Amino acid sequence: MSEFVFLYRNERHVKGMSPEEAQQAMVKWRAWFKDLETKGHLKNLGQPLERAGKVVGGKKKPVTDGPYAETKDIIGGYSIIEARDLDQAAELAAGCPGIQNGGLVEVRPVMPLNM
Amino acid sequence: MDPAEHLFRQEAGRLVAILTRLFGVHNLALAEDVVQDAFCRALESWKFHGVPKNPSAWLMTTARNRALEVLRREGTARKFTPELGRLLESEWTMAPVVDEQFEAAAIQDGQLRMMFSCIHPGIPEETQVALVLHLLCGFSVDETAAAFLKKGPAMEKRLGRAKQTLARSKHLFDLTGAKDVAVRLPAVLRALYLLFNEGYHGASAESAVRAGLCDEARRLVSLLLENPLTSTPAAHALAALFCFLAARLPGRTDAAGNLTLLIDHDRSSWDAALIAEGRRQLGLSAAGAEVTTYHLEAAIAGLHADAARAEETDWGGIVALYDTLMKIQPSPVVALNRAVALAQRDGPGRGLEEIALIEDRKRLVRYPFYFAAMGEFELRLERPEKARGHFQAALTLARNPMEKRLLEGRIRKCGDVSPTT
What is the DSSP code string of A23-89?
A: HHHHHHHHHHHHHHHHTT-EEEEEEE--S--EEE--SS-SEEE---TT-SS-EEEEEEEEESSHHHH
Give the per-residue pLDDT at B420: 45
CA distance B48 to A8: 12
Give the per-residue pLDDT at B205: 61
Contact residues, chain A, for B143 at CB < 8 Å = 18, 20
Give the per-residue pLDDT at B123: 94
Contact residues, chain A, for B40 at CB < 8 Å = 13-15, 22
CA-to-CA separations, B6 to B60, B61, B137, B213, B284, in angstroms, rounded: 16, 19, 10, 12, 30
Give the per-residue pLDDT at A6: 97
Residue A65 φ then ψ, to 5°: -75, 145
Q: Cβ A20–B7 below 8 Å, yes or no?
A: no
Question: pLDDT tens digit string along B249-286?
Answer: 888 877 777 777 788 888 888 999 999 999 999 999 99
Q: Among A42-51, B2-11, B234-243, where is mean pLDDT lowest? A: B2-11
Q: How far is B47 from chain A (nearest CA, A)?
A: 5
Q: How far is A78 from chain B (nearest CA, A)?
A: 10
Q: Is residue A103 part of a domain?
A: yes
Q: How far is B44 from chain A (nearest CA, A)?
A: 6
Q: Is residue A34 part of a domain?
A: yes
Q: Is residue A31 part of a domain?
A: yes
Average pLDDT over residues B15-36: 92
Contact residues, chain B, for A27 at CB < 8 Å = 2-3
pLDDT band at B95 (very low <50, low <70, confident <90, very high): confident
Q: Is residue A37 part of a domain?
A: yes
Q: What angle do CA B138, B174, B36 make, to 5 degrees?
A: 25
Q: Cβ A48–B9 below 8 Å, yes or no?
A: no
Our count of domains for chain A comes to: 1
Q: Is residue A18 part of a domain?
A: yes
CA distance B413 to B156: 44
CATH number at residue A87: 3.30.70.1060
Give the residue from chain A lying closest to B15, CA to CA. Answer: A19
Give the per-residue pLDDT at B97: 84
Q: Residues near B212 by Cβ (< 8 Å), separated by ≥ 6?
A: B6, B147, B199
Q: Which of residues 16-45 of B touch A (CB under 8 A)?
A: 36, 39-40, 42-45
User: A33: domain range?
Assistant: 2-48+77-109
ipTM value: 0.87
Secondary structure (3-state) at A15: helix
Q: How many residues does chain B have?
A: 421
- Of the candidates B43, B140, B143, the beta carbon closest to that of A26 is on B43
Give the per-residue pLDDT at A47: 94
Give the per-residue pLDDT at B210: 78
CA distance B273 to B268: 12
- Of the candidates B8, B45, B49, the beta carbon closest to that of A23 is on B8
Question: pLDDT tens digit string along B406-421?
Answer: 899 999 988 865 544 4
Contact residues, chain A, for B9 at CB < 8 Å = 18-20, 23
Q: Is residue A69 part of a domain?
A: no
CA distance B415 to B411: 7
Question: What share of chain B in percent tops pLDDT 90?
Answer: 61
Give the per-residue pLDDT at B418: 53
Query: Is residue A10 predicted with pLDDT exceeding 90?
Result: no
Give the per-residue pLDDT at B231: 95
Strand partners, A7: A78, A106
Average pLDDT over residues B353-358: 94
Query: Is residue B76 predicted with pLDDT exceeding 70?
Result: no
Burial of B279 by CB count in 10 Å (0-12 exposed, 13-18 middle, 19+ buried)?
Answer: middle
CA distance B403 to B224: 33
Question: pLDDT tens digit string along A59-99?
Answer: 776 676 666 555 567 888 999 999 999 999 999 999 999 99
Give the per-residue pLDDT at B394: 93
